[in-house]
Structure 1
Amino acid sequence: SAWTCFKADNEVRAAVPLKSKYWSIHNVFRVHLITTGAVLYRIPLTWGQNKLPWKLLHAAMMLLSLILAVVGLCAVFDVHNAQKTANLYSLHSWIGIFSCLMSLLSVQWLLGFAGFLLPCSPVALRQLLKPVHVWLGSSILMLSVAACISGINEKLFFVLQPYSSLPAEAVLANSLGALIVAFGLVVLMILSNGKWQRADPGPEDLTYTVRRKFPGSVLTQDSVLPLLYLYEFPR
């Protein structure tokens, strides 16, 4: 991210200095947030803990990733318009738009929130949504990695001359792209490894019920607690 930020063209910085930084680093942070959020449930340290705080952290990281993607797209259009450069003509831009729109149009975040965070969500709905949610998340991760490496390559072609002579900066940028790919592959390996999956869901993954008796009331059966009460009854 440091390389992409400092390599931004002086002409771009002069036109839109703040947005040029968003343009340069948003994809790197986005991939980092997506991958970190995806493997939260696979950390053995969390397996014996209440899952709700990790769900909230997962949702927050994915939401921040989505915000960064939107901010980055807006910054790209502003930078291109300031430089009188055409928009959406390269493969990098197509992949970036598709990965962002895929996460938006599929309502990935809202789908996960409604299906897995709301305590009133039916168990059958969660079982139906889980494979779709996992597949969409993995697809968005791969598209984000592809957008990063294609963006690095595109930037090198534009600002580094001659790129074909492979100067030290080109080696650094190529190595950065290779590390991003390796990072994404490691995350996919973790996600696909059954040994790293969390154990069967506990009560907090299905619904929170506590037997409470209310004197003078008909509510003597198991009562489903609202979301705020989840913190008071950890597993």
Structure 2
Amino acid sequence: MSHDVNYRKLFTPAKYRLIRELQTPKRLAELSRQLKISKQAVHAHLQELIRIGFVKKSGNMFFITKTGKIFLDKVREVTELTSVLTNLGEFLNTHDLTPIPHEMLLKIGDLQNAKVAVRKPYEIDERFLSIISDSKWVLGLSTVYHPEYPSIFCKLSTKANVCLILQKDIYEKVRKRNYDELVDYLRRGEMYICEGANLNFIVSESGLIMGLYTNDGIYDSSSFLICRSKSASEWGAKLFRYYLKKSQKIFNP
């Protein structure tokens, strides 16, 4: 059955709050009390939501339907996306986002509570170490060379599952300048080579750190995104798998 839906009236904060409350069945009076709006107003909202199939009534109880749950999840996703874009807008607008696949940009709402962190250019930041130091697994992609990275990840591979992707020219620098550490690392950890990534990130179960290039094509060594959440770890791991498919595994340096 089709319905003529006034979407402008449907997408209101009151209806969103109402559907969210109905994840557990409730009576009209309880909804009115929790939402702090009159029974008449709640009843009017409920009737519209029932008409389009997002809510059902059984006896004196109202509850969310399967389609209502789908709607709730999508609104929550948009709300989270709006929050992240508002919080990180200036940083994202001034940096190159093309290395991040479009489908992952649409899921950037997973980076709830992400912050832009300032650092001294090319210094090893304590927040970076805190993401990897006590982790059971670490995934990373790097398009910049730092003389301390080979030693850090070589030691890390003795206690964690580590898999790294290096841009080809960075791998060659490591191979030339840190050959012994590279050989030692490859006894335990995995390494891949890619080209044209133009971003840097490290992800573990503790969170995500990501560095980007500016819109002028210059790597921003003075700031990065940091997010400590399970959803950020999952987002970062998915981004890593995207680049892993484009990379070639190194077996012998």
Tell me the TM-score normalised to structure 1 length. Answer: 0.23
Higher helix share: 1
Tell me the TM-score normalised to structure 2 length. Answer: 0.21
Between structure 1 and structure 2, the one with the greater Rg is 2
Higher strand share: 2
Higher relative CO (CA 8 A, sep ≥ 6), structure 1 or 2? 1
